[in-house]
Homo-oligomer: A and B are copies of this chain.
Amino acid sequence: MLPNCFLTECNNFLELYLIVCESVTAKMHPVNESAAELTSLLTSAVFQDVHVMIFIGFGFLMTFLKRYGFSSVGINLLLAAFGLQWGLLMQGVWHLVDGKIKINIFKIINADFSTATVLISFGAVLGKTSPVQLLIMTILEITIFSINEHLVATVLEANDVGASMIIHAYGAYFGLAVARVLYRPGLRNGHENEGSVYHSDLFAMIGTVFLWMFWPSFNSAIADPGLTQLTAVINTYLSLAACVLSAYAISSLVEHKGKLDMVHIQNATLAGGVAVGTCADMNIGPFGAMLIGLVAGIISTLGFKFLSPILASSVGIQDTCGVHNLHGMPGILGGLAGIVAVSLGKKEGGDPVMQAAALASSLGFALVGGAVTGFIMKLPFWGQPPDQNCYDDSLYWEVPEEEDENEESLAHADHSKNKAEV
């Protein structure tokens, strides 16, 4: 019945989608800019790098769950592919030229950016929501994102080149608000599928490393060409490098016997990219960038270890991927660092008040928008999975028979071997 619901929904959704596309895209066409400029934009690796972060990075980062890899990569692809089209429209309506939406490489990069907010929120509710619920979240979150982005960039004229505030903090707290509304008491004591296996953790590292590597492109994608863009690349590169060191050090400090925890390595090593986002194109200097990265790695790792359990048990926020630690707190740190850097005159023309307003606006839209979206997603006819089917691909995917066999039989073999040895 739930999948049938998905089936019908998708059907209606497809028709609706066709109508929307036809009515709106009819107005789109590529801008006729100078070929040279387009080529230079085109040849820049930035667009493809961001693309890799969205589809490989976010997709595989979430494959750490033992039985939810198909959904992590597959639904990530679905949401991103739908979200970038929706984002293209939503952002387009703010910049109509002769009533038409112009498309160029920057618009496409921005469309990818807008989907990032949804993929971040996806991490907070991973394994506990149906595809239909997530498509609804995509539509609402990107619509609200485009309003907040317009406010921050055009009205407040705040600096947020790497989007610590408008993407990372916004996406995280939007998702956490949704997760709070969708709180499941039945999962209070965890779920047998809410864990990783050895190879699922390795798949997740593919996502981690691609996100880590291409973050300099993400934070410099919309920076002014030349020295400013180079500064964004170098600051991000240094912040991420420093973040890795503090994440490893703190992870070994807080784990028993000084062991490392894959969850920390998969996530906290990226916090430096989030936190340096707002300041990436400012003259904060290499040490400023490294300091931001170090602090981000520390608070992110500590958040995973100590804060997430409290949020789940006391506040009723079950944050599957710990987006609060990877995007939430580091995003706020980035916003605060931006206020400080601007007050110190690290960005000419910057205004600390506007930076603060941008941070407040992003958090406000996230929490309110997320709560409203959560209540809409909670309506009983979107096919939300029952507790016992959470974190399980087999609810939405044809899962290979062999796998269940495979694991059991392996054990059987071991048993028989042991017996043989006895």
Tell yes or no: A70 within 8 A of B by CB: yes
Count of interface residues, chain A, beta-carbon cutoff 8 Å: 135
Inter-chain contact A59/B245, CB cutoff 8 Å: no
- Chain B, residue nearest A13 (CB): B249
- Chain B, residue nearest A197 (CB): B402
Least Cβ–Cβ distance between A165 and chain B, in angstroms: 24
Inter-chain contact B49/A48, CB cutoff 8 Å: yes
- Chain B, residue nearest A85 (CB): B241
Inter-chain contact A407/B410, CB cutoff 8 Å: yes
Inter-chain contact A246/B14, CB cutoff 8 Å: yes
A417: chain B residues at CB < 8 Å are: 405
A74, A238, A287, A397: which has the most chain B beta carbons within 10 Å?
A74
In the bound complex, CA of A318 to CA of B20 (Å): 40
- Chain B, residue nearest A36 (CB): B226
- Chain B, residue nearest A199 (CB): B199
A269: chain B residues at CB < 8 Å are: 77, 81
Query: Contacts A25-B286, A213-B51 hold; do A241 and B400 have CB atoms under 8 A apart?
Result: no
Inter-chain contact B48/A214, CB cutoff 8 Å: yes
Inter-chain contact B227/A38, CB cutoff 8 Å: yes
Interface residue ranges of A199-252 to B (CB < 8 Å): 199, 201-203, 205-206, 209-210, 212-214, 216-217, 220, 225-227, 229-231, 233-234, 237-238, 240-242, 244-246, 248-249, 252
Tell yes or no: A43 within 8 A of B by CB: yes
Tell yes or no: A95 within 8 A of B by CB: no
Least Cβ–Cβ distance between A196 and chain B, in angstroms: 5
The interface residues of chain A, by DSSP majority, are classed as: helix
Query: Contacts A81-B245, A406-B197 hold; do A225 and B290 have CB atoms under 8 A apart?
Result: no
Tell yes or no: A32 within 8 A of B by CB: yes
Inter-chain contact A400/B195, CB cutoff 8 Å: yes
Tell yes or no: A381 within 8 A of B by CB: no
Pick the interface stretch among A146-154, A257-265, A354-362. Answer: A257-265
Per-position binary interface string of chain A over residues 65-98, scored 1 when its CB falls under 8 Å from any chain B CB and 0 otherwise: 0110110011001100110110000000000000
Query: Contacts A245-B17, A253-B7, A397-B262 hold; do A213 and B56 have CB atoms under 8 A apart?
Result: yes
Tell yes or no: A185 within 8 A of B by CB: no
Inter-chain contact B25/A260, CB cutoff 8 Å: no
Least Cβ–Cβ distance between A30 and chain B, in angstroms: 5
Pick the interface stretch among A101-109, A116-124, A307-315, A368-376. Answer: A101-109
Interface residue ranges of A375-422 to B (CB < 8 Å): 395-414, 416-417
Inter-chain contact B201/A203, CB cutoff 8 Å: no
Least Cβ–Cβ distance between A17 and chain B, in angstroms: 6
In the bound complex, CA of A137 to CA of B70 (Å): 34
Per-position binary interface string of chain A over residues 37-69, scored 1 when its CB falls under 8 Å from any chain B CB and 0 otherwise: 011111111111101100110011001001101
Q: List 13 A-B contacts (CB under 8 A).
A: A25-B238, A39-B226, A67-B198, A196-B400, A202-B203, A260-B397, A262-B397, A404-B414, A405-B410, A405-B414, A406-B414, A411-B412, A412-B416
The 6 closest A-B pairs by CB, nearest first: A35-B226, A409-B413, A7-B258, A3-B258, A411-B411, A81-B244
